Amino acid sequence: MVRLTVRQSPIMPNNRSTRKLTALMLALLFALFLPACQSEEPETPQYADYGTFGSKFALRLARTYPYRSPGSAQEKAAGDLIVTALEDMGYTPVVTRFSYSGLDGTYRTSRNISITIPGTGFVRSRADGSQETFRRQVIVGAHYDTFVSLQDVEAYRQTTEPAATPTPVPTRAPDDSGETTATTTTAASVPEPTLLDYDGIHDNASGIGALLILAREIRQVTPGYDVVLVAFGAGEDGQAGARKFAASMGKDKIALTDAMYCMDSIYAGDKIYAHAGRSSLRTYNRKSYEMRRKLYEVTDVFYEHELYTNNNYMLYTNQASIDLELEGISTPVMYREWTLNDSDYLPFDELGIPIVFFESYDYDGKELDDFKESKNPAFSETGGAIRHTPFDTTVYLNYITNRAVTARVSLSSNAAKQTVDQLTKRVNNTAFVILEAILKGVHDAQSVSEAVLSGTPAPSATPAP
């Protein structure tokens, strides 16, 4: 605080008018200095402030094409919707059609949709003081098909009595700000869903919503990595799309790839987890740090940005620490920081590429039977499963996942963050974590853009973006 001391000058006339003028001048001086003396409260950082773009696209995908099973007409139309969204961002997606034999022996065709965002490349100092430049890439993927087909629904419809008209359900759809209004709906007014209600919002429209946020937001930054974003077809048919993509990479591309980030069913499970791959396992409960480095970078992003404090978003790793026997490994391995749930990461993991797999689940327990997608009694009929069940439907999940949010708003000092609906929160924050992890780059090098900003002269061999 600036301290002002005024002494009466010997030549200052000592009269009432002068004293009033002096008081006025002091008041003006204090008014000028006071703002500089007051400590301003730091603004709360705004992380993952992406609005409702991703969650709205996920809702549109789920509601418009609920039965987008592998190889179906709805899967093709869903793929067209993704292509259009990417074109609207200014991309020219590569659409790769492939044929395969499904898990049931049926011959099908599907499509992968990908875009590549070139990075600046990296600079590394050699031991002799010279510099080398090189390029590396990462892949981010999610499947856009669903488990339930139109044929499944029609068969169910033929064997089921028409249901009574359900009670209208007030829902919590996100507005443009990402916030929702509280609802006082009681559980009795939400009918338990049937297969007729299924739309795959959880598995895996939510992952596609996060993928499209990445496509939009990555244009605002300058990654060192070349970034390949892929919407996989036929993910529910033994990861057929991901397997076709991985098989097309070749040895050079495999060696060039530092990580594959996969998102599947991130919306409705109890907690969000990030996992490493099975290729990181070693005998006698050991692990490969190098194969899990990208997982640890992801958790670093979560802690560095205090996402639980700032956004009410929590990211977990599986800490079960159970000894399991796994095919191909002679001794028991520790079930820790990886998952038994298969998804599109699997073919990349099998190639020895480090993977980070995001899903929502609950790994809190002492044995495998304790682990469930959700321990919410609302899913008791399926033993806690949401994927591949009638519970994977927009209206029911919208209500169930946000009931707890509504209940704690009145108890929270940060109600604005609490009232962001769960779909928007998880889609946005998962995309943010992956984007920031990508920007960390190669651990022992600088991106070319960082090197230039730090004053390091860019080598003449610097790759063009």
Give this prediction's pTM.
0.84
Q: How confident is the model at residue 19 (pLDDT cuts 50, 70, 90)?
A: low
Q: Which residue has the tokens 């139109």?
A: 150
Q: What is the pLDDT of residue 457?
A: 53
Q: What is the pLDDT of residue 456?
A: 60
d(CA 143, CA 344): 7
What phi and psi, each to the nearest 5 degrees, are found at residue 435?
A: -60, -45
Tokens of 50: 């992406």
Q: How confident is the model at residue 2 (pLDDT cuts 50, 70, 90)?
A: very low
Q: Which residue has the tokens 């987008």?
A: 68
d(CA 89, CA 273): 29
Strand 315-316 to strand 271-275: parallel, antiparallel, or no bridges (unpaired)? parallel
End-to-end CA distance of the chain: 51
Express each pLDDT in 182-195 by its tens digit: 433 344 467 899 99
Q: What is the pLDDT of residue 409?
A: 47
Tokens of 150: 């139109």
What phi and psi, each to the nearest 5 degrees, are found at residue 219?
A: -75, -10
Helix (H) or strand (E) holding 229: strand 226-232
Tokens of 338: 């990886």
Express each pLDDT in 98-121 by its tens digit: 999 999 999 999 999 999 999 999
d(CA 356, CA 113): 20
User: How many Cβ atoms sit within 10 Å of the Cβ of residue 148?
Assistant: 22
d(CA 45, CA 49): 10
Q: What is the pLDDT of residue 20?
A: 52
Cα distances (Å, whole numbers) of residue 41 to 38, 44, 47, 247, 454:
9, 9, 18, 54, 31
d(CA 429, CA 309): 13
Q: What is the pLDDT of residue 331?
A: 87
Q: How confident is the model at residue 284 (pLDDT cuts 50, 70, 90)?
A: confident
Asked if the model's pLDDT at residue 403 lies above 90, the reply is no
d(CA 216, CA 120): 18
Q: Where are the domains of the chain?
A: 1-40, 53-453
Q: What is the pLDDT of residue 45?
A: 73
Q: What is the pLDDT of residue 329?
A: 81
Which of 434, 433, 418, 430 has the alpha carbon at shortest distance from 178?
418
| pLDDT (average), residues 276-304 | 95
Strand 322-324 to strand 315-316: parallel, antiparallel, or no bridges (unpaired)? unpaired
Which string of DSSP letters, residue by residue, matches 395-433?
A: HHHHHHHHHHHHHHHTT-S-HHHHTB-HHHHHHHHHHHH
User: How many Cβ atoms sit within 10 Å of the Cβ of residue 398?
Assistant: 25
- In three-state secondary structure terms, 99 is strand
Q: What is the pLDDT of residue 191?
A: 85
Q: Which residues lie across from 335 on neighbouring strands?
A: 322
CATH topology of domain 53-453: Aminopeptidase (3.40.630)
Q: Where are the alpha helices (DSSP H) in 136-239?
A: 150-158, 206-217
Residue type, 223: P
Which of 302, 430, 298 has the alpha carbon at shortest distance from 360?
430
Question: Mean pLDDT score of the chain, rounded to an integer?
Answer: 86
Q: Which residue has the tokens 């509601």?
A: 63
Asked if the model's pLDDT at residue 328 lies above 90, the reply is no
- Confirm if 336 and 381 have CB atoms less than 8 A apart: no
Q: What is the 3-class SS of 326-395, one letter each residue?
A: CCCCCCCEEECCCCCCCCCCHHHHHCCCCEEEEEEEECCCCCHHHCECCCCHHHHHHCCCCCCCCCCCHH
Cβ density class 90-129: b for 16+ within 10 Å, e for less: ebebeebebebebeeeeebebbbbbbebebbbbbeeeeee
Q: What is the pLDDT of residue 22?
A: 53
DSSP 8-state class, residue 201: I
Cα distances (Å, whole numbers) of residue 118 to 91, 195, 225, 354, 455:
12, 42, 7, 20, 23
| pLDDT (average), residues 77-91 | 98
Highest mean pLDDT among 14-28, 39-53, 67-81, 175-189 belongs to: 67-81
